[in-house]
Chain A
Amino acid sequence: MEEVSKLNPDLLANAIPTVDDRKTKSWTSYLPVIFVFVGAFSMLALRLEIGKSFISDGAFMMLALASYILAALFQLTNLYAPSEMSTKIGYWGAAIGVFFNLSSWLVRWVAGYEREIAQMRAAGNPATPWIFRYIPFANLYDLSLAFAFGAGIATLLLARRRNLQILTAFTLPLAALILTLARFIGNDFIDLPPVLDSYWRPIHVGDASLSYGVALVCFAVAVIYLLKDGVKVEAMAIWSSIFGFAVIATVSKFSVFSALTYRAGLFISNPASTRPFPTAFRLDIPFVGPALAVTGLLLLGVVAAFLVYIYKDNESAKRAGHVLLKAALVAQLMSIILLVYGIKTTTDVYPRLQAEMAAKPALLMAAGQAMAEKQEMSVEDRRALTPNEYEQTARNYMQASGPQMFLSLNANPVELSALITALVGTLFVIGFGFRTERLRERLPSLDSLDNLMYKTACLAFAGLAMLLITGAIWANESWGRPWGFDSKETGALIAWLTYAAFLHTRISRGWKGRSSAYFAVIGFLLVIFTYLGVSYLLPGLHSYA
């Protein structure tokens, strides 16, 4: 029988010990975070000292991307073959990645400042605007860089406990996908829209990146929770396959399944700056359409097979599903390789475009319509336009500018990143299917995961509230109204309401665990919709970021 503890007799003599080793312990657990900030600000100091010949922000960003991927790989390996070295490399690799990420952002600030000052001096303008005008929060590239940093720093702060360090294996791949998107958007500087030149920008957009980062961590915790809680890997595969299928069905303006083609956007160079103009034209990349269609069908097959397995407990359906899943992975990889290869190696853009437009005049009309939509015209003028006039507009533009058009990976950044995300999703699900029970055992306890999920959801909720409020107050100062249900405002509101519903279900129904995890997943998907979908899919005042 265990002996009951005895009260320390010294206490009776009023000798209450004052030594508290908690502070020492907690200080060391912050070391990676301290390293990130000290290191990144050192890079900033070096950039200011050395000047333009120092490492560029683009290079730092690629280093961050590489570090995130490597660190994630080590932590994932650690799940299956635990070792002290993998854990350390994984954790410090994450810190190095976040250090490169923050360094990229800080160096970009300096580069932005120098660029505009040089322009102003060349034009004889002696003014020196305040440095916060150049803080990297101006466009989607900047926000993506900051978002990835937010996710990284949130991971380092929240996963300080030893048993939670595995979080990096799930959050860093997501941060790497954000940086991949940033790479495809391109790090060209834009001219800052005057309305963004306000002290509210660092506050509002800074809060956005940190809140989104915490929401990403909450999502990762939710996925780990579901895995630990025994959700079938096949069920996860169904969701990731549905996502992959939806991406394939919608890219290239739905042409993959309707016409078995994938058309990539065309750029035209801009003599005034390095940033090219997008055109309304798209060019068919050979073989990509059929490859994506096959992938889509394989993913559908996965969904069907696993649905049969789950509802009919059919083992052969399960086996078939796994085979189809692996085939879908190969197909996704091939499609992306073909797409990238096609974009990089196509040189005869104009003749091919001419041939394609001649064969399919409907494409000319669509391009003409897209061009007309961008022009300001009255309702009557717009109604009066005929299909022939749309075609003529497009034909004239093609004849004038066709020879200057070119393909680029940066033309459809969201589409390409979505395809890569779907691939990564499939890869992860296949990974989860490998020695699943062992994997589940190695994950932290349900209780600690649930606590972390709740904590991150609370932080995301508070962060999104601050985002909405600072946005409203800034809008009140600049656009003349605090709240106008602009797409981005509404998107952020929807994400915030979802987290509110999540928190309240815990109160009212004692919902913990799996139901909460589903809410956390939906909340994050809505955050991504606000971050990306609003800029690319929906018009509104916020369309620049």
Chain B
Amino acid sequence: MSAAEEVINSERVSAVPRVPVLNRFLDYISSVRLGVVVLCILVVLSMIGMLIMQQDVEGFDAYHVSLTPAEKLVFGHLGLFDIYHSWYYLAMLLFLSLNIVLASIDRFPSAWSYIVKPKLDATRGWLLNRRRHFEMKADAGDAASVANAIEGVFKKQGFSTKITEKGNAFFIFGQTGRWNRVGAYIVHVALLTLFLGYFVALQTGFNAVLRLAPGQKTNHIEMQTFDLDKKLNFDVTIPFTIECTDIQQKLINPEGDIDISNTMDWRTEVKIADPGYGTNTYEISLNKPLNYRGYRFFQSQAIAMGSARNITLALTPENGGNAINVQVPRGGQTKLADGTIVAFDDFQPDFALGQDGQASSRSSDYNNPAAVLSVTPPNGQKTRVIAFSPAFADKAPVAGAPKAGYKWRLVDFEKSPLAHVLSIKYDPYNASFVAWYIGGFGLVAALGFVFFVSHRRVWARIEQTEGGTQDIVIAGEANRNHASFDDRFDRIVSTLRGPEDQSNGRSIET
């Protein structure tokens, strides 16, 4: 047979075995590369949600009106007006979570092996291929004493060490920060905790609002949802009764308006009567919400209709005498020395008589403040008295006329809005807490651990040569923070070389 025939008739070399489709698929969905692609998709989708106004943003109705019918149709059908709650956005987040889990499962064993099976020894060639390596020799001492000396230097630089002997060579292995190898996995566990908490809160919770004026009691809250330019409200019954006992607005200038620019804080005092847990009083103010049985109550808004939290009245007896000042809290009453009971029923910031003869206001500003009182003289009938400010009452005979034995003047009052609006988040499993406090802070702490600590390893190989000297190879590498590791390695090398031999020798990095 000729050489050519041998070649032609040679046995067929078997083809590279095909990996099963399922394995290839699993490899693909657990790849970091795919994870990066999903991240980029999420970036694009998130950006779309910023550029196309979302339906829960204030001003959406005006924006929606300004769109062409085609835009409304296309954007609407694609779910672009509520993209962050769309099925495909949530699916991307879920898919990213799956990718993280699979990629972690794939890579964790090799990371774990760094911790449980450190590379205690290595060939000369392997060491010389490390990022940093250095060769030297020792004229004095035997291999064991040289190994001990080098181990001491490693320890001084903060490495925890181990000496092993293999064949006729001694190996010293030193490392710090080995747990950094699993740092990335801790980061991803924290991130997945955050995602999980977010999903659970999304599925099991809802948002609602509650408008409360002092004295108002209710066990209903209003759940709000958005459907394009429509706000839909649903009544929800809560398992306890909430009563507003006080509202207060802390102003920068107490004489100024009750608008937001003059406000430091809003405070709502509530009494919660719960069949299961009794009755308790709580305070809610800005940045200090109330957590109650999965319901979180937040100070959201104030209804900017002027009212008064307490009033100071100057009462001048009709028959003569000095004026007396009395203070009455909102919804409360006081008894005068002569037995007259003065109850503070209502307050009108810009008093006007309504068509039905009832007290009402022209506006919500404090233009003509008046306190509406119920006054019960000791042996008389309850009568309605309206106390105006001295500036108005002194000029208006009817308004300023005495009633129930006194001339009534409203001399001071603490400004307060008519009602507060609390926003409520229902989170029955405290999923938000788990997500953001545990997942969130865990993520930040884990990132700090990943980036500020690194796994540093150093090796030394000592081998006795035929001439009786010791051949030494020092090598080292770190998984990050290379510049800082280089400094450490250089110090090891200069310590090993000593002061007399600084000008010679090679310290090599790739």
Contact = CB atoms under 8 A, between A and B. Distances in A.
A212 B500 CA distance: 48
Contacts of A120: 252-253
6 closest Cβ pairs, A-B complex:
A8-B498, A5-B505, A123-B253, A508-B32, A469-B440, A7-B138
Tell me which of B50, B423, B483 has the highest count of chain A C-beta atoms within 10 A of its own C-beta: B50
B451 interface: yes
Interface residues of A, number: 80
A6 B137 contact: yes
B36 interface: yes
Contacts of B156: 16, 18
Nearest to A190: B261
A461 interface: yes
Contacts of A448: 483
Given A458-B451, A485-B49, A504-B36, A12 B145 contact: yes
A22 B487 contact: yes
Interface stretch (A233-241, A248-256, A347-355, A495-503): A495-503
B153 A479 contact: no
Given A123-B252, A197-B265, A11 B483 contact: no
B35 interface: yes
A448 B483 CA distance: 8
B447 A461 contact: yes
Contact of A451 (B251, B482, B495, B501): B482
B50 A194 contact: no
20 contacts: A3-B505, A6-B137, A6-B138, A11-B149, A12-B149, A191-B252, A194-B266, A194-B286, A382-B61, A454-B480, A458-B451, A465-B447, A468-B440, A469-B443, A478-B287, A480-B423, A490-B46, A490-B49, A501-B40, A538-B53
Contacts of B50: 487, 490-491, 494, 534, 538
Given A22-B491, A194-B266, A197-B264, A505 B36 contact: yes
B196 interface: no
Interface string B474-489: 0000001111000100
Contacts of A478: 286-287, 289, 298
B136 A498 contact: no
Nearest to B152: A16
A14 interface: yes
A5 B501 contact: yes
A466 B442 CA distance: 10
Given A382-B65, A481-B425, A504 B483 contact: no
Contacts of A454: 480
Contacts of A22: 487, 491
B65 A379 contact: yes
Contacts of A12: 138, 140-141, 145-146, 149
Contacts of B497: 5-8
A84 interface: no
Given A8-B498, A12-B146, A480-B425, A451 B483 contact: yes
A477 interface: yes
Interface of A: 2-12, 14, 16-18, 20, 22, 116, 119-120, 122-125, 129, 161, 191, 193-195, 197-198, 200, 373, 379, 382-383, 448, 451, 454-455, 458-459, 461-462, 465-466, 468-469, 472-474, 476-485, 487, 490-491, 493-494, 497-498, 500-501, 504-505, 507-509, 534, 538-540
A129 B264 contact: yes
Contact of A3 (B39, B289, B480, B504): B504
B332 interface: no
B300 interface: yes
A194 B448 contact: no
Given A494-B46, A504-B36, A469 B436 contact: yes
Interface in B440-459: 440-441, 443-444, 447-448, 451
B209 to A, nearest CB: 9
A480 B254 CA distance: 28
Contacts of B56: 484
B260 interface: yes
B436 A482 contact: yes
A536 B103 CA distance: 40
Interface string B267-288: 0000000000000000000111
B54 A485 contact: yes
B472 interface: yes
B314 to A, nearest CB: 19
A483 B451 CA distance: 26
Given A476-B436, A480-B298, A508-B33, A7 B286 contact: no
Interface string B51-75: 1011011110110010000000000
Interface residues of B, number: 94
A17 B451 contact: no
A468 B191 CA distance: 12
B112 interface: no
Interface in B414-436: 423-425, 432, 435-436
B222 interface: no
Nearest to B425: A480
B135 interface: yes
B288 A507 contact: no
B288 A477 contact: yes
B240 interface: no
Interface string B13-52: 0000000000000000001110110011011001101110
Contacts of B424: 480
Nearest to B44: A494
A120 B470 CA distance: 81
Contacts of A479: 298, 423
Given A12-B146, A462-B444, A504 B49 contact: no
Contacts of A509: 33
Contacts of A2: 504-506
B160 interface: no
Contacts of B501: 5-6, 8
Given A123-B254, A194-B266, A482-B435, 16 more contacts: A7-B140, A22-B491, A161-B483, A191-B252, A191-B262, A194-B263, A194-B286, A197-B264, A379-B65, A448-B483, A462-B447, A485-B46, A494-B50, A500-B39, A504-B32, A508-B33
Nearest to B298: A480
B415 to A, nearest CB: 12
Tell me which of A122, A459, A509, A540 has the highest count of chain B C-beta atoms within 10 A of its own C-beta: A540
B255 interface: yes
Given A16-B156, A16-B495, A494 B43 contact: yes
A405 to B, nearest CB: 22
Interface in B118-140: 134-140
A196 to B, nearest CB: 9
A488 to B, nearest CB: 9
B296 interface: yes
Nearest to B56: A484
A118 to B, nearest CB: 11
Nearest to A273: B261
B483 A482 contact: no
B469 to A, nearest CB: 9
Contacts of A17: 495
B101 interface: no
Contacts of B53: 538-539
A136 to B, nearest CB: 18
A539 B254 contact: no
Nearest to B265: A194
B102 interface: no
B95 interface: no
A11 B504 contact: no
Contact of B252 (A125, A161, A200, A507): A125
Tell me which of B139, B263, B436 has the highest count of chain A C-beta atoms within 10 A of its own C-beta: B436
B376 interface: no
A222 to B, nearest CB: 18
A197 B286 contact: yes
A504 B483 CA distance: 21
B496 A501 contact: no
Contacts of A494: 43, 46-47, 50
